Amino acid sequence: MEIRGRKKGIVEENYRINTKKNHARGQQKPASADRSQDTPGKYVLCPYCGKLFKARGTRKYCYGELCKTEAKRYRQSTVDGLVSKIRKGMYANLKIFLEKLPEPGQAKMDYDDALKKGFDEDAYYGTYKSKNALWHVVEQYYFLIEHTEDKRFLHIYKR
């Protein structure tokens, strides 16, 4: 809250400097003129380094520093990492499903065995809700994990 107040003060100060150079300090201006003036730079917080800087246009990251490229690189690596993890999981899952259930139908296997083979419960395209279960979809396969007492099973269904 304190930052917001401070920012507002700086923005106002900045506005005065940019648009009222020829006016006396503190002079009143009609409210309608505010919007028609060419927009002075706003002060924004750089989302990468947290520095307060004066932005031109819709600039999000501070100038001079590497924040923009660094932030992009970071975002990219996070996304790439996630995509490759899911792709890897999806591949492992499909391999297990194909091995266990090559033809349409149903199969049940020990969940821990599936884990040993690289099964990844987070790797699926989407979900499908049946009467009383939520299935996870990978290609033409649907899977769900069943917990019964101390045992866990992986149910596989193929269309």
- Name the residue nearer to Zn ion (CB basis): 55 or 86: 55
Among 44, 62, 96, 156, binds Zn ion (CB under 5 A): 62
Is residue 49 a contact residue for Zn ion (CB under 5 A)? yes
Tell me if 26 sits within 8 A of 8, measured CB to CB.
no
Among 14, 40, 52, 65, binds Zn ion (CB under 5 A): 65
Structure tokens at 116: 């040993």
Of the candidates 118, 109, 117, 116, which has an alpha carbon nearest to the alpha carbon of residue 144?
109
Kindly indicate which of the ranges 4-12, 21-29, 35-43, 47-55 contains the residues binding Zn ion, using the contact rule CB under 5 A: 47-55
C-alpha span between 11 and 47 (Å, rounded): 18
Q: What are phi and psi of 75, to 5 degrees?
A: -60, -45
- Name the residue nearer to Zn ion (CB basis): 49 or 137: 49
Kindly indicate which of the ranges 42-50, 73-81, 90-98, 110-118 contains the residues binding Zn ion, using the contact rule CB under 5 A: 42-50
- Name the residue nearer to Zn ion (CB basis): 53 or 119: 53
Is residue 121 a contact residue for Zn ion (CB under 5 A)? no
C-alpha span between 34 and 41 (Å, rounded): 13
